[in-house]
Structure 1
């Protein structure tokens, strides 16, 4: 058993059957077929039901780990000079409802996301149900040349969220899906609206961190420059060291910071002096 599985915990077959029976009852099906989805996820067990619904089952242990992660992330935000903007969830059901609401908000403002269905409780577990996108790949599974083609779309979607006072809060390659040639965003987290400015800068830092290993710092910063000002990019660099500490990001923070500094000098004319 690896560390992620140990921390995440394991659902018993009885719990899985209880969730499956509840879904069958809710959607008026005599039986449902449940398959496990391979996903790099600390905070839930992802399932696919009848090749129709993507289901995340959240246990009390998941909620406890989420609370620990939230505290660590807020501490990291403080050390980066910002405010703590990640919100805790009071248990697995609230976690499920927050994710459903964040997905709903993304869809409402025109950002591609799986259609949200509902969130509910089953025997102390939180369950969130969304549309299942079949035949997708995550951004990190694409060749570098394809990632570069999608880079501008990543920042366009992110800027749309930010213009509507919404932050993703957990942007990484695994949370950006390519389906039928379009990008879809999943696993948005709950962010305190009072800290939305810092959350935007953190999101931008995460996007640069996600893209740099695939297309290089200069190309990532150039793609971001279409939708973000040099000052916004400079603000994002203050979060790069914190993002680089996360186990799900592995990138050259110094290269990104240097690319942002170079772009800023060019756009402000400092390199002409």
Structure 2
């Protein structure tokens, strides 16, 4: 069995049926059609209902895995010379409530994110309901030319998020979507609200880690410098080695550090 499947666990069909029946009742429908997605996801069982709603079903095992991942991330943050700033969740309901609120806040400040409909609990399972974006591509799916064209917008969206003292906390190519010609953020994780400088720097480091393999270090830093000042880039530099430890980021942290330092020297 694949390690991710083992970690995610299996939700009993009877419990899934109860979630689906509850959704049908809440949305006043006699019958709904369910399509389960082949998503390599540690933290939920995702499905689409009637091609209208994207639903995440979160179990206690998902919450436990999230807690373990969060502990690892906080330990890793110490390698950057700072205390951990990732929040953990104790229950499936807390997980889906956080994502609901994070998505709502992103939309509230004018950023694109799927419209959150509700978050609730059914028989110990957390259930998150979002609008379904049927025709999207992730940043992984874009050509290098498309990534280059979208990169300034990505940094501008991050800057808007940070200007409102918010952070994404899990920015990677899979969590950046392009739909109808617009960039969307999904799957924001929870970070300490009183650690804005650190979470801003971490987000920026993650964004550069996403772009460097596609654009190269020099072009990535050049585009980032059009939105963030030298001080912001130098703060992000301190998190590059931490981000490189994550299995979902493969990039040249040494080259990025060097280019950030060149930009900072020019700004002095």
TM-score strictly above 0.5: yes
Asked whether the 8 Å contact 1:43–1:66 carries over to 2, the reply is yes
Q: Map residues 87-166 of structure 1 onto 2, 5 A cutoff.
A: 87-166=87-166
Instruction: Give CA-to-partner distance per residue, 1:32-63, whole Å, 9 cap, x none.
Output: 11111233321111111111001111110000
What does residue range 234-249 of structure 1 map to in structure 2 within 5 Å? 234-249=234-249
State the 4+ residue runs in structure 1 displaced beyond 3 angstroms: none
Number of aligned positions between the proteins: 268
1:225 corresponds in structure 2 to: 225
Q: CA deviation at 1:77?
A: 1.2
Q: Specify the SS of the correspondent of 2:57.
A: strand
Q: For residues 144 and 35 of structure 2, what CA distance do their matches in structure 1 show?
A: 31
Distance 1:251 1:107 in 2: 30
Q: Deviations over 1:208-244 (max 9, x none)?
A: 1111111111121111111111111111111111111
2:32 is the counterpart of 1:32: yes
* Alpha-carbon contact 1:80-1:238 (below 8 Å) kept: yes
Q: Distance in 1 between matches of 2:152 and 2:122?
A: 40
Aligned to 2:6: 6
Structure 2 unaligned blocks of 5 or more: none
Aligned to 2:72: 72
Query: Displacement of 1:18 after TM fit?
Result: 1.3
Q: Distance in 2 between matches of 1:245 and 1:85?
A: 17
After the TM superposition, which of the residue ranges 33-42 and 55-64 deviates more from structure 2? 33-42
The structural deviation recorded for 1:83 is 2.3
| TM-score normalised by L of structure 1 | 0.96
Q: Which moved more, 1:108-117 or 1:75-84?
A: 75-84
